[in-house]
Structure 1
Amino acid sequence: MKRLPFLILLVIVAGSFFAFKNKIIPGKDDVGKYELIMNMVAKLLSQGHYDPKAINDEFSQKVFNKYLEDLDPKKKIFLKRDVDSLAGLYATRIDDEMNGEPVESFIGISKVFDQRIAESVQWKNQILSQPFDFTVNENAELDGKKLQYPSSVAERKDRWRKELKYYALERFVDLQDGKSSSKSAKTDVQLEKEAREKIDTMMTRMFDRYKVKFTEEDKFNLFVDNITTAMDPHTEFFPPADKNYFDEELSGSFFGIGAGLQYSEGLIKIISINVGSPAAKSGQLAPGDLITKVAQGKDGQPVDMLGYDVSDAVKLIRGKEGTTVRLTIKKPDGTVKEVSLVREKIENDIDTYARSAILRDSVKNTKVGIIYLPEFYVPFNDPNGRRSFTDVAREVQKLKDEKVDGIIMDLRRNGGGSLYDVVQMVGLFIKDGPIVQVKDRTSGAQILKDEDKSVLYTGPLAVMVDEFSASASEIFAAAIQDYKRGVVIGSTSTYGKGTVQQNIGLDHSGFKRDGGGDLGAVKLTLRKFYRVSGGSTQLKGVESDIVLPTQMAALKLKEKDNEFALQYDEINKASYTPWNSEYDINTLKQLSDNRLKKDSSFQTILRNAAWLADENERSYSLNIDKYKAEKKLVKAKADQIIAAQKLKKSLKVSLLPLELDKYKEDANKQERLKQWIKILSEDIYLNQAGQVMDDMIVEAKNFAMNK
C-alpha cells in the first residue's frame, strides 16, 4: 500500500477578533442579555467573517425583511399596513441595535405578530365551523414568494379560508380513498366534517405552539439567526439549549430512522440524513422532503404532522428497535409517497465507512471496481479510530488485487468532512502536487499539497456526484478533474458549498473557539475553498464532464439558489502538472450523449422532472374534480420516474471475495450488504457510469498500443 504522508493541517487564521475586552459595549456597564448577544454577534461577524457585509441600514433592511418572511412565510399573518408601519419603526434600526442601542425591533414585531395570530385563531374557528363547497372553481396560492402582503383584513381572512379549505380537501380525498378500500358506511357529508375536524385539531395544535412554545426568547433566537444567515447561509446562531434535538435523539446512539428534522411552515422538514441510517438505506428520503404524516407499524393510523414541532414529531418517529414507522413524504416537486422504515441503532462498521464492490460486463469482458464513500470521516476523539483516506486506500488495494480494469469513486450524497483526508485521498491517484487552495479574509491563499510521489492506482478513474455532493466531495472531484486524472459523472453540477465554518461560543467572559457559551454560539464562516485551477467551488460547485439527467435538476436546492450565499470568484492558478490522460474527454462525452438519446429511461426522467417542477410552481385548485385530476397526473408522472430509475436488466454487481464472511456471525449486517448490492444492480446511473468507464478502458488500451 502507498505510504500515506503526514500533511501539515491548515491553522485557523489569527483570531484577533477573540481578543475583545470583557466590556463588550463601550460606555455601558449595565446591558441586557439581548443587547449583549447582539453586540457580540455584530463584532464577531464584522471582524471574523470571511466576507462580511457592512452592518448598516441596507443590511438592517435585509434582516428586517428576512425576519418577517420567517415569521410569516405564506404572507397570511401580517397586513401590508403592519409591514409598512413596522418598517418605518425598525427596518433601519437593527444595525443600531447591533452597535449598542436597546433591542426593541424584534419585540415590536413580535407584539404585532401575536396580535394577528390571536385574530387568526378566531377566523380558524369560524371558517372550520361551516362545510366547504369543493365544487367551486377557485385556486389557493400557497407560495408566499408569489404573494404580496394582504392589503385588507378581508383579503387576509380569505387567504386563511383558502389554505384551510385546501388542507381539508386533501384530507377529504384521503378519507374518500380510504372509504373505497375499507367499504366504510360514512357518507361524503360525514367525511367532509371529519376532514374539517382533523384540520381543526392540527391548527389548534399549531396555534398552541405559537402561544406556549414560541416564547419571546424563541423569537429573539430566530431574530439573531436571521442576522447571522444574512451574512451567508452557513453562518448560524445556536442558543445554549439548541443542540439539534433530532441529531441527538435519532442519531446512531438511539433507536430511530437517522434524519435531521426542522420545523418549517407548520410542517416537519428533513434537513439531513445520517449516513448508514434506515433513512439513508431506504434511498427514498432526502433533505428538503416534508414529513406530512407518521404511522406506527403496518396498520397504524397516520398522525398528521401539521402544527407539530420537532420534539413532538420525534416522539412519534422514535420507538423500539426493530419496529416499523411509516412516513408520508411530500417531495420538493410536490409528489407524495409513503415510506416504511424499521427503527434500528445505527451500526457504523458497514454503513458509515468506505466499502467496495465489482461491476462485471460479460459482453465487453470488463471488471470495474466501485468504492462507495458516504462521507470524509475522521475519528476526532479517537486516535486509533478509522479515517476515510486510509479506508479508501485499503479498498483501492483490494480492487487492484482483483485486477479491476477501472475504478469508480461513488461520492453521491456525500456532504463532505475532513479536509486533511481529501488531500490525502487525491494523493492516492496522482504523483504529487497541490490539491486545494484555502483562503481566509486576511491573507493570501494557502496551498494544501500531496507530497508523496508514489501513486497507489494509475488506471482509469471516474467520480460519481450529484446535487448533494458538497464541500470535501467537491474538492476531491475538482482536483481529479483539474488534473485530468479522471472523469466526473453525474448531475449538471454539485451543490456548491465552498466555505469552511467553525463554532465560536458566546460567553459573558468573551469568545470561545470550538464550543458553546452561556449565551449561545455562532457557526462562523472563516475560509473559502479554491480549485488548483483558480476557481472557487462556492456557488458553481463542480460541473460534471458527463451529465446524466436527474429528477432534482429542475428544483432549486443548491447553494446558488440561496440569495444570501457568498459569491463565486477566482484567484491565481496553482502550479501543477496535469496527468498524462489516456482518454479524450470529448470522445467520451459524445459516446455518452449518443447512449442517453437512445435511453428511454433518461428521456422519461428529463421530461417528467421538468414537468413536475413546473407543476409545483402552480397554485392549487380547490375544486375536487380538478384536484383529483391533478393529483392523478402528478402521481402518474412520479411513478414513471420511479420506474425509469430502475434497470430492466440488473447489472452484475458483487461483493469482493470474503467480504460477507467478515460478518458471518451477524445475519443483519450480511443482509444489509446484500441489500446494498441489490440497489447498485438496479441503479441506472451506475449503469451509465460503468459504460463510460468501459469507454475509458478501451481508450486506455488503444493509448497503450499506440505508444
Structure 2
Amino acid sequence: MRPRPLRYPFLIALLLTAGLAVASPRPVALADLYPVPEQTKSAVVINKVLERYHYRKLSLDPAFAQAVLANYLDALDPSKSFFLARDVRRFEDGGRRLDERLRRGELDTAFDVFRLYRMRVDDRVDYALRLLQGDFDFTRDEHYDLEPAEDAWAEDGAALDERWRKRVKNDFLVLRLADRDDADIRERLRKRYEGLARRIEQFDRDDVFQAFMNAYTLALEPHTSYMSPSTSENFDISMKLSLEGIGAVLRADNEYTVVQSTVPGGPARESGQVHTGDQIVGVGQGLDGPFEDVVGWRLEDVVEKIRGPKGSVVRLQLLSKGAGVSARAREVALVRNEIKLEDQAAKSYVIDDLEATPGVRVGVIEIPAFYRDFQAEGEGRRDFRSTTRDVRALIDDLVMQGVSGLLIDLRTNGGGSLAEATALTGLFIDTGPVVQVKDAFGRVEVESDPESGVLYTGPLAVLVDRDSASASEIFAAAIQDYGRGWVIGEPTFGKGTVQTLIDLNRYVPGEQTDLGRLRLTMAEFFRISGGSTQLRGVEPDIRFPTADTVIDHGERALDNPLPWTRISPADYRYLDMADGVETLVRQSQARIADDLGFRMLTERGKLLREMEERTQVSLNEAQRRAEDERLESAFKAHQDRFLRAQGITPVDEDADPIDEDALETQREAISRIQVEEAARILADGILLGRHAQPRAAMTN
C-alpha cells in the first residue's frame, strides 16, 4: 500500500504523556454546528498573521481557496467513502468566491460541509451494519481498492454502496486471516463502525473550525497548523509532562493511528518493538485487560487510551509499516515511565575487528538526539548535561583507547537543539559558520562555531539514514561542506524549516476570549554552501543500497512541502580532509555485493516497497492467504539466512513466551550491519592517508 500523506497535522500527540483526565465527550447536536463570532475573529487574525509572517507568502486567491476546500474534503473523507461526486461539485460551485469569504473570516462553507459529512457518516454506518448481518463469498475473484484515485468520488448511491460492500468485506477478511471466528468478527466490526459514528457525533464547533483552518494552513505547507483553545490546553499539559509516558509521536493517517517517531530513552524506543510507520490497531490496559479495536478512532481518543499513570502497563497491537492490511498484529507491552535525560545521552564503543584493515580501530559515538538540559542551565548549574559536553568526554576517552578514527552515528536522530548541533560541529572545525537561517522577511543570520580550536583532528565519518532530521541534517551538512569527513548512509529526512508557536490573542489587544494558537513556519535552514536542507535532505557521499528501496519518505512524502532552494554561500574555508570518495565507493560496493546483511536489508526493503505500492488487494481468501504467506516467507528467509551466518539462532517474535535476551541479540546484529560497513569505509579512508593522526585536546 502506498504511504498516504499526513492527515490532521494539528492532532499530533507530542508525547503520550501520563496524568491527563478528560471527561467523556457527549454527542453534539447538528443545530450547534455553526460558527460563532470568536471563530470569525480567529480566522481574520490567522489570515493577517500568515500574510505577514509565514515564510511562504500567502496569496489568498481563488486557486488557493479551492486548494483549501480540497484539503478539507480529503481530511474528512480521505478514502472517498462518504461524499458523492455531486456533493463535491456543489461544494466547489459554492466555493467559487471562497477566497473573499475567507478573507472576511466567514466560515459557513466549512460548517455546511461538515454537517453533510456527519449525516453521510450516519447513513454509511447504518449500511455497513446491515451488511454485517449477511454473508460474504470469499471465493469470488474481486479486488478492493486501498487508495481510490484523487477524483474517484462515487457518482451515486449505488456506486457508494458497492464501495462499502467491498470495504466491509475486506475488513471482515482481514480479521478472518488473523484467525478470528465469524461471530467475533461481526462483533468487532459492529463496535468499530458504531464507534466511528459516535466519534463523529462528538465533533463540536471548535473541532470543525480547527479541521478547516488546518486544511487552510496545509495549502501553504505541512508544518503550519492551528490549535483551538482546548487543543492548546492539552498541548500545555503535554509539554509539562513531556518526560513521562511511552515516548511516541503519533499521527492520524486515514483510519489508522500511526507511529511517526519514538523518543530516545522512552519505553517505546527502548522496547525495540515499536517502529516508525507502525499502525496501532488495538489498545489494552494492564497485563491482561481486553484489547479495544481503535481502527477509525480519532487520534485524541487513541491517545487518551494509551495515556496512564507512571509505572502502569499499556499493551498495543501493531501492524508493521507496509505489512499489508491482512497481516497479523503483534502485541507489545509497555510500562509507562519517565523519560530521563541520561537515557537519551550519547554513547560510545569501539569496533576493532575489521577484516582487511588490521590494526585500525574505529570509535563509534551514537547520538540519539541533540539534547541540552535547559532547566539545569537556567538554574546556574555548571555541570548541566548536553550533547556537546557528553561527546567531548567520549572523544577524550576513545582517543585514550587508541582509536584510529571516529564514526558519528545519527541514524533515527530526529534533531533537537540547534545550539547543540552548532556546538558539536565546533568540536571538529576551528572557527567558522555552521548553518544559515533565512526568515520570512529575507534576512539571513549565520550560526557559527562558538569556540575557537579543534577538539578532534583525526579521520571522521557521519552515518545517517532516512530518519535523520533537522539538527542532524545541519551537523551532517556542515561536516560535508567543510570536507571535514565523509557522510555515509541514506538521504536524510529533509526537514529544513523552523516553526514558532504564536498566541493569536497578542494580535487582538483587550480580547477576552481565547482565540487559540498558530504553529507557524517562519524560517528555513540553509547550508553554508548555500543549498537548503529542506526537501532533499543531505545526500550521502557514500550511499547505501538500502536507499534505493525507499519510496517517498520524510518531507518528500508530505502534502505541499516547501521546495528546495538556495541562497548565497557563507564565507568558510574548505578543509579538504575527505577526498577519495570514488575509491571508497568502489571498495564498499564490492564488499556489500557479497554481504548477507546488506542483501537482507535490501531484499527486505524491496518487499516493503512492493507492499507499500499496492493499490488494491484481493478479496479472494485463498489468493490473499497465498500472497501474504509468500511475502512473509520471503521476508523471514532473508533474515534467518543472515542471522545464522552470524551464529545467531533466529527468534520467532510471535512466540509465547519470547526470549527477550535472544531477541535483543537479534535486533542488535541487524542494527550493526550499516554501522560496521560505515566503519570499514572509514578504515579504508584512513588507509588512503588523507588525515592527520587522531588528537583530542581541551579548547578554551
TM-score relative to the length of structure 2: 0.84
User: 1:346 pairs with 335, 338, 344, which one?
Assistant: 338
The 1-side partners of 2:516 and 2:70 are apart by 24
Aligned to 1:629: 626
The 1-side partners of 2:89 and 2:642 are apart by 49
Aligned to 2:148: 144
Aligned to 2:18: none
Question: Aligned with 1:431: secondary structure?
Answer: coil
Change (3 A) 1:684 1:703: same
Question: Aligned with 1:437: secondary structure?
Answer: strand
Aligned to 1:506: 504
The 2-side partners of 1:677 and 1:139 are apart by 37
Is the aligned partner of 1:317 residue 2:313? Answer: no
The 1-side partners of 2:213 and 2:691 are apart by 61
User: 2:267 pairs with 278, 285, 297, which one?
Assistant: 278
The 2-side partners of 1:524 and 1:208 are apart by 32
Greater CA drift, 407-416 or 472-481: 407-416
Give the residue type in structure 2 aligned to 1:567: P
Change (3 A) 1:503 1:391: same
Is the aligned partner of 1:194 residue 2:184? Answer: yes
Q: Is the 8 A contact 1:367 1:404 kept in 2?
A: yes
Change (3 A) 1:451 1:116: closer
Deviations 1:533-566 (A, max 9, x none): 1111111100011212338942322212324101
Is the aligned partner of 1:436 residue 2:435? Answer: yes
Give the residue type in structure 1 aligned to 2:366: Y
Greater CA drift, 566-575 or 268-277: 268-277
Aligned to 2:689: 700
The 2-side partners of 1:197 and 1:428 are apart by 60
Q: Is the 8 A contact 1:497 1:538 kept in 2?
A: yes
Is the aligned partner of 1:687 residue 2:679? Answer: no
Change (3 A) 1:554 1:640: farther
The 2-side partners of 1:289 and 1:61 are apart by 33
Give the residue type in structure 1 aligned to 2:673: I
- CA shift, 1:311, in A, is 4.3
User: 1:122 pairs with 122, 126, 149, which one?
Assistant: 126
Is the aligned partner of 1:217 residue 2:206? Answer: yes
Q: Is the 8 A contact 1:432 1:453 kept in 2?
A: yes
Q: Following superposition of structure 1 onto structure 2, how do residues 281-360 of structure 1 map, counting pairs within 5 Å?
A: 281-295=270-284, 302-318=291-307, 325-335=314-324, 336=327, 337-360=329-352
Is the aligned partner of 1:483 residue 2:482? Answer: yes
Is the aligned partner of 1:95 residue 2:99? Answer: yes
Change (3 A) 1:511 1:161: farther
Is the aligned partner of 1:53 residue 2:50? Answer: no
User: 1:133 pairs with 119, 127, 137, which one?
Assistant: 137
Aligned to 1:72: 77
Is the aligned partner of 1:365 residue 2:359? Answer: yes
Aligned to 1:38: 43
- CA shift, 1:96, in A, is 1.9
Q: Is the 8 A contact 1:250 1:256 kept in 2?
A: no
Deviations 1:62-93 (A, max 9, x none): 01001000000000100000000111002x34
Q: Is the 8 A contact 1:251 1:274 kept in 2?
A: no
The 1-side partners of 2:337 and 2:239 are apart by 9
Q: Which has the higher contact order (CA 8 A, sep 6+)?
A: 2
Change (3 A) 1:415 1:635: same
Give the residue type in structure 2 aligned to 1:597: A
The 2-side partners of 1:264 and 1:618 are apart by 16
Give the residue type in structure 2 aligned to 1:51: R
The 1-side partners of 2:242 and 2:50 are apart by 34
Q: Following superposition of structure 1 onto structure 2, how do residues 550-589 of structure 1 map, counting pairs within 5 Å?
A: 550=546, 553-581=549-577, 583-589=579-585
Identity of matched residues, %: 32
Aligned to 2:31: none
Is the aligned partner of 1:615 residue 2:611? Answer: yes
Change (3 A) 1:46 1:647: farther
Q: Is the 8 A contact 2:483 2:578 kept in 1?
A: no
Aligned to 2:371: 377
Deviations 1:386-415 (A, max 9, x none): 222222222222222222111111111111
How many equivalent pairs are there?
635
Deviations 1:499-527 (A, max 9, x none): 11111111176389xxx992111111111
- CA shift, 1:702, in A, is 8.9
Greater CA drift, 139-148 or 40-49: 139-148
Is the aligned partner of 1:108 residue 2:94? Answer: no
Deviations 1:671-705 (A, max 9, x none): 99x9799827852111111111221222237988x
- CA shift, 1:442, in A, is 1.9
Give the residue type in structure 2 aligned to 1:559: E
Q: Is the 8 A contact 1:582 1:700 kept in 2?
A: no
- CA shift, 1:334, in A, is 2.7
Q: Is the 8 A contact 1:467 1:552 kept in 2?
A: no
Give the residue type in structure 1 aligned to 2:374: F
Aligned to 1:182: none
Question: Aligned with 1:488: secondary structure?
Answer: strand
Give the residue type in structure 2 aligned to 1:380: F
Aligned to 1:525: 521
- CA shift, 1:139, in A, is 0.7
Deviations 1:14-53 (A, max 9, x none): xxxxxxxxxxxxxxxx981121111111111110011223
The 1-side partners of 2:578 and 2:74 are apart by 53
Question: Aligned with 1:242: secondary structure?
Answer: helix
Aligned to 2:225: 236
Deviations 1:153-194 (A, max 9, x none): 111111111111111111122235xxxxxxxxxxxxxx2233
The 2-side partners of 1:250 and 1:172 are apart by 41
User: 2:495 pairs with 471, 494, 497, which one?
Assistant: 497
Q: Is the 8 A contact 2:497 2:521 kept in 1?
A: yes
Change (3 A) 1:198 1:333: same
Greater CA drift, 73-82 or 522-531: 522-531
Change (3 A) 1:443 1:255: closer
Deviations 1:370-394 (A, max 9, x none): 1111111223333233222222222
- CA shift, 1:641, in A, is 5.7
Deviations 1:73-122 (A, max 9, x none): 000100000000111002x3432233215321101111221221121122
- CA shift, 1:472, in A, is 0.9
Change (3 A) 1:319 1:650: farther
Aligned to 2:25: none
Change (3 A) 1:529 1:567: same
Aligned to 2:636: 639
Change (3 A) 1:498 1:603: same
Deviations 1:343-375 (A, max 9, x none): 141342431122222222165233221111111
Deviations 1:302-330 (A, max 9, x none): 43222333444345434566665443322
Greater CA drift, 142-151 or 572-581: 142-151
Is the aligned partner of 1:156 residue 2:184? Answer: no
Unaligned runs of 5+ in 2: 1-34, 649-659, 694-700
Aligned to 1:13: none
Q: Following superposition of structure 1 onto structure 2, how do residues 658-677 of structure 1 map, counting pairs within 5 Å?
A: none
The 2-side partners of 1:511 and 1:288 are apart by 43
- CA shift, 1:567, in A, is 0.7
TM-score relative to the length of structure 1: 0.83
User: 2:249 pairs with 245, 260, 266, which one?
Assistant: 260
Aligned to 1:460: 459
